[in-house]
């Protein structure tokens, strides 16, 4: 008998140790406030909801576990028992007839926070809220290299303090004036013996059909609050400017509807020189058009005319693109050199079948800058050299183009306007 009892205690201890800590499960500290517990549940329940992770059993179990952790920690009595005795204490509390947690069905708990039936989706006849569209700007280097980052938007959220009831104590009464319908039928006399029935919002409950004696101090009874929410953003290599990224059911929330979608329009920021080395590359000031990149390189008169120069351009990922001309190679102003495979990476959704990676081209436009002024001695030397070659091989453009030396006399009999 004693051996059997010791074995049972050992098995129970192993089971308790194997259970995941509720605080770690929600990602909060042991002294977390009620608001922090509710916020953690809101974020994790959306992340692991089975509708967003179809066929993923681990996500489903995580969704249920998160709901269970919330049930225990949000109630003062069960949280005190858990803090003192852990999972074993909670199990004994349930077997001993203690008051269970407030919620049982994790989908019912989810619906209390986000509205609807506890499921994401667009069907089922549920009322659906409007979509929300925002613009998020990232540097061009993120489009080139790809990046995992975050962005924050302010949105309407179901009040976590009252779980969307609008009541501090959770008690909501049916309006005794409209009977919970939110509207009243009123009779208006148009003439003696002639009446008209008009349907109007109930002035007592404001058309809600419910009244609250003790409004929630956080939302003031409105059931919703405005708060910032942070989302992960995965910028893929070569994504086109203006691409739309959809976050399902992440738009404004309400207890009366299933949240719509948050649609992110991905744009690029204006180029600016940053503080870190990777933010100070020449590529920061590339311009993008589709899969190609564009750059302007400045040349002096000597470089454009005589050649014999080399330039290193630092690309968006830090590698070097070398431009050069041999001695005697002339570069005309506004010449565009095309450097193949140095443009944007082509987005994987636009790659041909069987191709894993491809790049556009880099277009380099050469701008020749003339000196503002010249030393007198240098001017004399250049003039003597150019004058010597002009007399020997120079061509008169007026003669080449057969331009007249003087004005042309127009005929006298031309038509007048």
Distance of alpha carbon 410 from alpha carbon 267, whole angstroms: 60
Task: Characterize 10-22 residue by residue with b for buried, 16 or more Cβ atoms within 10 angstroms of its Cβ, and e for exposed.
Answer: eeeeeeeeeeeeb
Which of 61, 82, 114 is at the close of a domain? 114
Please count the other Cβ atoms lying within 10 Å of the Cβ belonging to residue 204.
Answer: 13
pLDDT at 114 over 70: no
Distance of alpha carbon 222 from alpha carbon 387, whole angstroms: 87
Q: Which CATH number belongs to the domain containing residue 58 in this structure?
A: 1.10.287.110
- Predicted confidence (pLDDT) per residue in 362-395, tens digit: 999 999 998 888 888 888 988 898 888 888 888 8
215: which DSSP letter?
B
Rounded mean pLDDT, 71-79: 87
Q: Does 307 fall in a domain?
A: yes
Q: What is the number of alpha carbons within 13 Å of residue 383 lying toward its C-beta?
A: 7
Dig out the tokens for 298 from the structure.
Answer: 């400045």
Q: Kind of pairing, strands 147-158 and 173-174?
A: unpaired
Higher pLDDT, 102 or 128: 128
Which of 114, 133, 167 is at the close of a domain? 114
Q: Does 155 fall in a domain?
A: no
Residue 414's pLDDT is: 61
Going by pLDDT thresholds of 50, 70 and 90, the confidence category of residue 104 is low
Q: Does 151 fall in a domain?
A: no
Backbone angles phi, psi at 196, to 5 degrees: -130, 135
Q: Does 395 fall in a domain?
A: yes
Residue 271's pLDDT is: 87
**What is the separation of C-alpha 24 from the centre of its chain, rounded to a whole number of angstroms?**
27
Q: Does 279 fall in a domain?
A: yes
Residue 122's pLDDT is: 47
Going by pLDDT thresholds of 50, 70 and 90, the confidence category of residue 416 is low
Q: Does 371 fall in a domain?
A: yes
pTM for the whole thing? 0.69
Residue 98's pLDDT is: 54
Number of domains the chain contains: 2
Residue 406's pLDDT is: 84
Distance of alpha carbon 85 from alpha carbon 38, whole angstroms: 23
Least confident of 51-55, 242-246, 299-303, 314-318: 51-55
Going by pLDDT thresholds of 50, 70 and 90, the confidence category of residue 120 is low
341: which DSSP letter?
T
pLDDT at 360 over 80: yes
pLDDT at 152 over 60: yes
- Predicted confidence (pLDDT) per residue in 205-218, tens digit: 766 777 778 888 98
Higher pLDDT, 382 or 331: 331
Which of 114, 129, 144 is at the close of a domain? 114
Distance of alpha carbon 67 from alpha carbon 172, whole angstroms: 24
Closest CA to 62 of 26, 15, 14: 26
Q: Which residues contact 204 (CB under 8 A, 6 or more apart)?
A: 175, 176, 177, 178, 211
Q: Does 306 fall in a domain?
A: yes
Residue 43's pLDDT is: 81
Q: Which CATH number belongs to the domain containing residue 370 in this structure?
A: 2.60.260.20
Output the CA torsion sign for 118, 124, 130, 136: positive
Round to the nearest angstrom and report the end-to-end CA distance of the chain: 127
Which ranges of 48-178 would DSSP assign to H, the alpha helix?
Answer: 57-74, 76-95, 106-114, 140-145
Closest CA to 111 of 127, 99, 100: 127
Rounded mean pLDDT, 349-353: 91
Q: Does 163 fall in a domain?
A: no
Q: What range does the domain containing 79 cover?
A: 13-114
Give yes or no for a contact between 94 and 123, defined as CB atoms under 8 angstroms apart. Answer: no
């Amino acid at each position: 008998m004693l051996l059997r009892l010791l074995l049972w205690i050992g098995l129970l201890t192993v089971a308790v140790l194997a259970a995941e800590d509720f605080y770690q499960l929600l990602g909060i500290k042991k002294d977390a406030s009620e608001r922090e517990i509710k916020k953690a549940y809101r974020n994790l329940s959306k992340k692991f909801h089975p509708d967003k992770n179809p066929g993923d059993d681990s996500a489903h179990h995580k969704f249920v576990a998160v709901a269970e952790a919330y049930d225990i920690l949000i109630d003062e009595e069960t949280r005190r028992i858990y803090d003192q005795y852990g999972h074993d204490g909670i199990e004994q509390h349930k077997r001993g007839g203690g008051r269970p947690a407030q919620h049982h069905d994790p989908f019912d708990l989810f619906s209390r926070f986000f509205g609807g039936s506890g499921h994401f989706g667009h069907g089922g006849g549920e009322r659906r809220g409007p979509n929300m569209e925002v613009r998020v700007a990232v540097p061009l280097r993120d489009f080139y290299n790809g990046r995992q980052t975050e962005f924050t938007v302010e949105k309407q959220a179901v009040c976590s303090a009252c779980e969307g009831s609008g009541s501090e104590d959770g008690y909501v009464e049916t309006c005794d004036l409209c009977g919970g319908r939110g509207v009243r039928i009123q009779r208006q006399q148009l003439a003696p013996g002639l009446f008209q029935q008009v349907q109007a919002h109930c002035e007592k409950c404001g058309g809600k059909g419910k009244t609250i004696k003790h409004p929630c101090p956080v939302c003031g009874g409105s059931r919703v609050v405005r708060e910032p929410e942070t989302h992960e953003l995965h910028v893929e290599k070569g994504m086109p400017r203006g691409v739309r990224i959809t976050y399902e059911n992440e738009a404004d929330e309400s207890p009366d509807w299933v949240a719509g979608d948050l649609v992110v329009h991905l744009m690029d920021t204006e180029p600016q020189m940053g503080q870190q080395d990777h933010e100070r590359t020449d590529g920061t000031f590339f311009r993008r058009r589709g899969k190609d990149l564009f750059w302007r390189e400045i040349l002096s008169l000597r470089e454009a005319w005589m050649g014999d120069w080399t330039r290193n351009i630092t690309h968006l990922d830090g590698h070097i693109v070398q431009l050069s001309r041999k001695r005697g190679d002339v570069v005309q102003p506004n010449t565009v050199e095309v450097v193949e495979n140095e443009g944007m990476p082509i987005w994987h959704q636009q790659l041909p079948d069987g191709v894993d990676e491809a790049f556009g081209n880099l277009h380099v436009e050469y701008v020749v800058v003339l000196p503002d002024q010249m030393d007198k001695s240098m001017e004399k030397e250049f003039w003597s050299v150019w004058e010597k070659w002009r007399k020997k091989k120079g061509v008169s453009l007026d003669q080449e183009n057969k331009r007249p030396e003087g004005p042309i006399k127009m005929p006298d009999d031309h038509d007048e306007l």
